[in-house]
A and B are shown apart, each in its own frame.
Chain A
Amino acid sequence: MSRFGEKSVVISGIGQSEIARPSRKSALVLTIDAALAAVDDAGLTVRDIDGVATWPGRMASDPGFGPVGASDLKEALGLEVNYFSSGVEGSAQFVSAFNAINAIHAGLARHVIVFRTVHEATTRLQTGSGTAFAVPRVPDARFQWQLPFGAMSAANWVGLYAQRHFHDYGTTREQMAQIPLNCRLNAARNPKAVYRGPLGLDDYLASRMISTPLCLYDCDVPVDASTAIIFSHADHAADLRHPPIHIEAIGSALHGRDSWDQRADLTTMAAFDAAAMMWSRTDLRPDDVDTAQLYDGFSILTMLWLEALGFCGKGESGAFIEGGERIALNGALPLNTSGGQLSEGRAHGYGYLHEACLQMRGQGGDRQIAKQVRTAVVGTGGGPLGACMLLRRD
């Protein structure tokens, strides 16, 4: 038996609600839609589910970002759980997946449902504001070092990283544009994506700046959506509706500072720590990966993930994606094939995991990658948030 516990765990079922801007459904109803879809997809019943985990949990200070907690789903579905958890601290959005994996490996539970629900489109309409920080005093001490200076959005915090990458490596807007342009091409093939119309380089270059060098199209799209993924012990693989997807390796490390502005090297992020850990837990190498689904809350973050995971050298992501052929649906490394958060919508981390599973099962529809997808890497988070998983089919 491997000393790496994640290898005894599989993804058994996936489900996703509608993705809408906004949805007429409450966040809890979206969560139930996703959860029931995932249970059915796994070939299980609700009574088989004995664990539930979510990130970030219910957040009174930001109800669009954290509308539904683990106990909300437990109560709605009458789950009898042996393990449940939610909370915002940990290895980015995937800490809840890692909690599920750990619980299964430890024998605490057999089938753990993990979900991520966002209601950011509805919340914005209700409050008329794009920020939860329109308050007299910083509501969360972690953000006191940025907010008083009008650095009120991750667009600003990430803009600082992007500017430094442009400065140190000569990265250009034309290169970075390939992230959103590629997403839009893929979204055109995805009926669930919120933005499917054509987007050209000229549109990109002419769009308004948000926080230099990030323009409107470099920033993801807040939506209402819920994604649910069921993790099960590999011993149950034979009972499942679909072939299991194995967790080959996880990366949960954060060796650098847990801070948006104190990381020693401003052209790296937590992603570098997480990726190094992931590769240390597998014999597979970047060359073995058939598709990458990498966080695109902002375009530059996807580029930094490509570097962190070793698909290209440090500072070389601009050249790597130049022209877009390599990352296209029929390219050497198809990237963000659902349209990503930039075009499909900000399902926030778990959208990538859902898409990786669809592609590995051959359920990608019009956007199915032509070659066999046996191995996928999924990375989520930016700045001090970073977590990744390597997935493998038999």
Chain B
Amino acid sequence: MLANDAPLPVLTPETTPFWTGGEDGALMIARCSACTRYVHPPQPICPHCLSREIAPVRVSGRGTVASFTVNHQRWLPDMRVPFVIALIELEEQPDIRITTNLVNQPIEAAAIGQRVRVLFERHEDIWLPLFEPDGETGE
């Protein structure tokens, strides 16, 4: 666990698919079936075309590092530092971004433009979407 003892989200009808999809290994992002655009954070209406035909769908979980920062500050007493906070642009629609942690690689390996894929880490009723390197050749 990276963000030890960091506060967890409170589930709501709109956010539950995103925060619990990991139970099925699925990254769930709201998508408008009228204009086909993804919307994040999830909304009960599409802010682009105002359709209410919007629902969470499973996305590939693949994306690109748009930016990252190595956190060195112990914001909580038991926080293990340093660790990498990253902003991931999803493969399906680059303006959908997820703030997350980059894991399963050395901290120095984090780079803008790096290809990554999702994995999940359970904390109580929440499955946090984390990201790890995605081999160029696929696996």
A interface residues with partner B (beta carbon < 8 Å): 129-131, 133-139, 141, 144-153, 155-157, 159-164, 167, 208-214, 259-262, 264, 266
Q: Interface of chain A, helix or strand or loop or mixed? A: loop
B91-115 interface with A by 8 A CB criterion: 95-101, 112
| Chain A residues whose C-beta falls within 8 Å of the C-beta of B96 in the assembled complex | 262
| Selected contact of B68 from candidates A138, A141, A160, A260, CB within 8 Å | A160
Q: For B58, what are the chain A residues with a Cβ–Cβ distance below 8 Å?
A: none
B33 within 8 A of A: no
B18, chain A: closest CB distance, angstroms: 9
Whether B126 contacts A155 by the Cβ 8 Å rule is no
Residues of A within 8 A of B66 (CB): 164, 266
Residues of chain A lying within 8 A (CB to CB) of residue B3 = 148-152
**Chain B residues near A (Cβ < 8 Å):** 2-10, 12, 15, 40-41, 66-73, 75-76, 79, 82-83, 85-87, 95-101, 112, 123, 126, 128, 130
CB–CB B101/A149 < 8 A:
yes
In the assembled complex, the Cα of A210 lies from the Cα of B69 at a distance in Å of: 10
Nearest chain-B residue to A210 (Cβ)? B73
Q: How far is the CA of A259 from the CA of B96 in the complex (A)?
A: 12
Q: How far is the CB of B82 from chain A (nearest CB, A)?
A: 8
A153 to B72, CA, bound (A): 12
With beta carbons under 8 angstroms apart, the residue of B4, B12, B72, B99 that contacts A151 is: B99
**Identity of the chain B residue whose Cβ is nearest the Cβ of A267 in the assembled complex:** B67
Task: Report whether A262 and B83 are in contact in the complex, using a CB–CB cutoff of 8 Å.
Answer: no
Residues of B within 8 A of A135 (CB): 7
Q: Measured between C-beta atoms, what is the minimum distance from B125 to chain A in Å?
A: 11
Contacts of B73 in A (CB 8 A): 130, 153, 155, 210-211
Judging by beta carbons under 8 Å apart, are A137 and B68 in contact?
A: no
Determine if A211 and B69 form an interchain contact, defined as CB atoms under 8 angstroms apart: yes
